[in-house]
Amino acid sequence: MTVNKLLAKSYSYGGTRSLDSIRYIVIHYTGNKGDTALDNARYFATSNTRAAGAHYFVGRDGSVYQSVELNRIAWSVGGVFSTSNGAGSYYRKCTNTNSVSIELCDCLEDASWEQYTSTRQLVKLIRKKCPNAKTVLRHWDVNGKSCPSPMIGTNNRKWKLFSTYIDKGYQYKATVTKKVAVRTSPKITTGNIYNYLKVGSTVKVTKIVGKFARLSSLTKDGKYRYVVLSKIRESL
């Protein structure tokens, strides 16, 4: 994942804060059809005149644009819309001051696979810089706004899937897309091939090592197993 940067005009953010003060990561959606991360970043960088913004935009193709610096307070979760039926349960706990906001673009029905994977990687990146950002929420959880609309509600299956996937750290399942050699070290040599996995096989990845994925299962003699990343794809 590459984080492109196109910073918003000052209408979109307020003062500075320490990264240690950030406690929450809030997921939003733009509410538009066909928009891209670049479209939104460019709008806030050139045209916006309202006190509104977000730190990041994630496109349907998985592209990521940063619009507000992490140490700036983005105007993203203010006000209150509802605190009934489970909505707004984090009202006055999660605020603009202690949160980072991520907007999903072109997400009227559900997030794309590319948005799932880029958002998961983005959350990991944010947590490296903001070690106390341990809780992932919806805008709906913060102040009851219907955002992201496909994922609101107390027992929303789409939100449970999305939040579990992006919040579970580096371990994830992947499917083999091309026959791949399983190796006992993260490099390509003739002497480290352990066996082969056929197309459609499922593996669990525990770590990324350069261009290789380290698998959860070990060889019979206790060595880690590796496959090249280009021949597997994350599966939901």
* pLDDT tens digits for range 169-220: 557 789 999 999 999 999 999 899 999 999 999 998 888 888 899 998 888 8
Q: Among the three residues 167, 188, 212, which one is the final residue of a domain in this structure?
A: 167
144 lies in which domain range?
3-167
**Does 123 lie in the same domain as 51?**
yes
118: CB partners within 8 A, 6+ apart: 1, 58, 62, 63, 64
The count of domains in the chain is 2
Give the CATH number, domain containing residue 32: 3.40.80.10
**Does 86 lie in the same domain as 110?**
yes
pLDDT band at 41 (very low <50, low <70, confident <90, very high): very high
**Does 130 lie in the same domain as 83?**
yes
Long-range CB pairs of 220-228, under 8 A, 24+ apart, other chains included: 223/184, 223/194, 224/184, 225/182, 225/183, 225/184, 225/194, 226/182, 226/183, 226/184, 226/185, 226/186, 227/176, 227/180, 227/181, 227/182, 227/183, 227/197, 227/203, 228/180, 228/181, 228/188
pLDDT band at 236 (very low <50, low <70, confident <90, very high): low
Q: CA nearest 162: which of 194, 197, 117?
A: 117
Give the Cβ contact number of residue 81 at 10 Å: 15
**Does 30 lie in the same domain as 146?**
yes
In this prediction, residue 91 carries a pLDDT of 97
In this prediction, residue 140 carries a pLDDT of 98
Percentage with pLDDT > 90 across the chain? 80
Q: Is 117's pLDDT higher than 90?
A: no
**Does 208 lie in the same domain as 122?**
no
Mean pLDDT for 154-180 is 85
DSSP character at residue 23? -
Q: CA nearest 15: which of 78, 55, 75?
A: 75
Better pLDDT: 120 or 56: 56
pTM: 0.78
**Does 126 lie in the same domain as 158?**
yes
Per-chain mean pLDDT for the chain = 93
**Does 151 lie in the same domain as 47?**
yes
**Does 189 lie in the same domain as 163?**
no
Q: CA nearest 141: which of 103, 98, 97, 85?
A: 85
**Does 184 lie in the same domain as 69?**
no
Q: Among the three residues 167, 187, 210, which one is the final residue of a domain in this structure?
A: 167
pLDDT band at 142 (very low <50, low <70, confident <90, very high): very high
**Does 215 lie in the same domain as 202?**
yes
In this prediction, residue 208 carries a pLDDT of 80
Judged by average pLDDT, the poorest of 8-22, 36-50, 220-234 is 220-234
67 exposure class (CB count in 10 Å sphere: 0-12, 13-18, 19+): buried
Q: Is 168's pLDDT higher than 80?
A: no
**Does 144 lie in the same domain as 71?**
yes
pLDDT band at 235 (very low <50, low <70, confident <90, very high): confident
